Chain A
Amino acid sequence: MSYFVDKNGYYGQFGGAFIPELLHPNVQELEDNYLKILESESFKNEFRDLLDTYVGRPTPLYLAKRLSEKFGATIYLKREDLCHTGAHKINNTIGQILVAKHLGKKRIIAETGAGQHGVATATVCALMNLECIVFMGEVDIKRQAPNVARMKMLGAKVVPATSGSKTLKDATNEAIRDWIGNPEDTYYLIGSVVGPHPYPDMVARLQSVISKEIKEQLKAQTGNENPDMVIACVGGGSNAAGAFYHYLDEEKVDLIAVEAAGLGVNSGESAATSQLGEVGVLHGSKTILMQDEFGQVTEPYSISAGLDYPGIGPLHAFLHESKRAIFMNATDQEALDAAYELTKIEGIIPALETAHALAVLHKMKFEKNQVVVINLSGRGDKDLETYIANLKDE
């Protein structure tokens, strides 16, 4: 079985490009060109150079000794939190801004939820001197004021999405509407492995640098490039796609995708899409999404704004359906506890999203020599307010 996108843009039954005719030329242009660009020597050199000298790659693969001791396994942390701007998101924005430049686009638009992808996009637009417009839900603009300020400082225009629930899915709708209205000069820089083909595949390829490095680093450190297990959190799923990518065909490597259960999978306040969703079309892609009995998209909930998305990328929908990946989840409280735990015993404050991936360590049984890699997708600076508010006195 192949876990990679087929020639029609599908992963099994998932994927495709369910877009209005108005977007057809834009998406077709990208589909016709993205592989040519990604595989060109000039792109590869520029991308590698910026990843090395600007993003700070390769990021370390760190053997977390105390964490390993606590869980009775050999646990490595892939330190994407040490990337410039604080998360893996910039791997994708660096790659796509180069694609946009190759296509001759002058105006960059993006959606953002918590603001991490918005900041990563505004950063590369500043770097490349391109106009940047970020759509962000009105509700999120209020919740994430520091990131809004960062984007503005980087020269981006932040446009509030005032439709629907005024959060990430609506910001995505607004970005797509803007793209419809500006078909010639504008590039839509999507932040995750979602959207119409070829976005999920392109973003997965750009993030695949994560698992490429894990392989090399693990080989150097242990003599074997394959761990027993890779764990990553999934909202749309870009960090998981990057961490899984070069292991998709290594069937002996267990892939664990961790979703946000919010207040509990069945509480009505959750973002565990694989558990609560059904097959449908969201943001141009056939995937699994949370919806009501008449196909209206429902609003997810998680303490972590980065996992608060009603769908998952089509690759993940396929990994779930084919059982290639095991889907687990963690509640708000379990994530908070895991974040405090990692901070205490390893001196690393993880992003709330990443904390969900750490939380499932408590739900598994390990053998001592079992090698586990957790993708530490982001750092927790942006979540300090939440961490402080929930810190219990000892």
Chain B
Amino acid sequence: MSKLTSLFNEKKHNLLSVFFTAGFPKLNDTEIIIKSLENSGVDFIEVGLPYSDPLADGPTIQHSSSVALSNGMNLDLIFNHLEALKGSVKIPLVLMGYLNQIIKYGDVKFCQRCKDCGIETVIIPDLPMIEYESHYKALFAEYNISNVFLITPQTSVERIRKIDEMSNAFIYVVASSSITGAKGEISEKQIAYFKRIEQMNLKSVLIAGFGISDKSTFNKACEYMNGAIIGSAFINYLSDNGSSTITKFVGDILD
């Protein structure tokens, strides 16, 4: 059983995930960020692989990616950092990156390195379901890697059912039709959408993301979802405060 599945078996509410871009703000911050997040009570972590052309990301994550790349971050280095942490980090780590990075690195080599590092879950925003089924499903299964799919307010009911069937980690519920980025509050329209998804009684764990930025938006999302992911707001915090006071950021949310 994967670490993520064990987590979801034990805890079904208020799951907090935090996203950060590997190599930001400093090249070698991966360890301190992951350990600080774990120690402050985050349930699982999304490690972003910095990419030159992150289509689904807003300005904050784009900026963190270009800083990370100019710091010299690359996929080899990320895997080395993660492998070194393998024994000491207990909470699940999820890799989030764009497909071209994986194609260039080599699909098989990528999977092998994930396995070496104890990575069991990936999010590849530009890998659509149809391509996943025909080109990646079997390979990922061979390496015990689960792929996370996204759904949005525009995703049809039929498609959500299919995604639910295919998911074995969680469903990433995109809170609004937009790119990533902190927005401050959750609208009535979003709540109606969360309710609609909640009432579908899907088998998968539902984690909301995009626009979750603080205690209030996190709690609101958790009324309907199993948990939520905070990304851009954390990147902004790192930009302003560096990596030494992460506990305070998480504390303010879980307080």
Contacts and interface: CB of A to CB of B under 8 A. Distances in A.
Contact of B131 (A16, A279, A296): A16
B141 interface: no
B55 A282 contact: no
A183 interface: yes
B131 A294 contact: no
A345 interface: no
Interface in B171-207: 174, 177-179
A233 interface: no
A284 interface: yes
A164 B104 contact: no
Contacts of B53: 164, 169-170, 173, 282, 297
A276 to B, nearest CB: 14
B127 to A, nearest CB: 7
A223 interface: no
A297 B52 contact: yes
B55 A177 contact: yes
Given A20-B56, A21-B150, A21-B151, A280 B62 contact: no
A176 B56 CA distance: 9
Contacts, number: 107
A183 B154 contact: yes
Interface residues of B, number: 40
Nearest to A22: B152
B226 interface: no
- With most chain B CB atoms within 10 A of its CB, the pick from A177, A282, A294 is A294
A293 B103 CA distance: 11
B53 to A, nearest CB: 5
A291 B128 contact: no
A180 B52 contact: no
A72 interface: no
A387 interface: no
A62 to B, nearest CB: 41
Contacts of A176: 55
B179 to A, nearest CB: 5
> Interface centre among B58, B75, B105, B179, by most A CB within 10 Å?
B179
Interface in B147-185: 149-152, 154-156, 159, 174, 177-179
A196 B107 CA distance: 21
Given A22-B150, A22-B177, A296-B52, A163 B62 contact: yes
Given A22-B150, A164-B66, A173-B55, A294 B128 contact: no
B135 to A, nearest CB: 10
Interface in A148-190: 163-164, 169-170, 173, 176-177, 180-184
Nearest to B75: A294
B136 to A, nearest CB: 12
B177 A21 contact: no
B100 interface: yes
Contacts of B69: 296
A24 interface: yes
B74 A294 contact: yes
Contacts of B251: none
B134 to A, nearest CB: 9
A154 to B, nearest CB: 28
Contact of A295 (B103, B128, B156): B103
A268 interface: no
A20 B101 CA distance: 15
Given A173-B53, A296-B52, A18 B128 contact: yes
Interface string A12-51: 0000111111101100000000000000000000000000
B85 interface: no
B125 interface: yes
Interface of A: 16-22, 24-25, 163-164, 169-170, 173, 176-177, 180-184, 278-284, 289, 291, 293-297
Given A281-B99, A297-B52, 11 more contacts: A17-B128, A18-B128, A20-B55, A24-B155, A163-B59, A163-B66, A164-B62, A177-B58, A180-B177, A284-B55, A295-B75
The 5 closest A-B pairs by CB, nearest first: A295-B104, A21-B150, A296-B52, A295-B101, A25-B154
24 contacts: A18-B99, A20-B56, A20-B125, A20-B126, A22-B56, A24-B155, A24-B159, A25-B154, A25-B155, A164-B66, A170-B53, A173-B53, A173-B55, A177-B56, A180-B178, A280-B100, A280-B104, A281-B100, A281-B103, A284-B126, A294-B101, A294-B104, A294-B105, A295-B103
Interface of B: 51-53, 55-56, 58-59, 62-63, 66, 69, 74-76, 98-105, 125-129, 131, 149-152, 154-156, 159, 174, 177-179
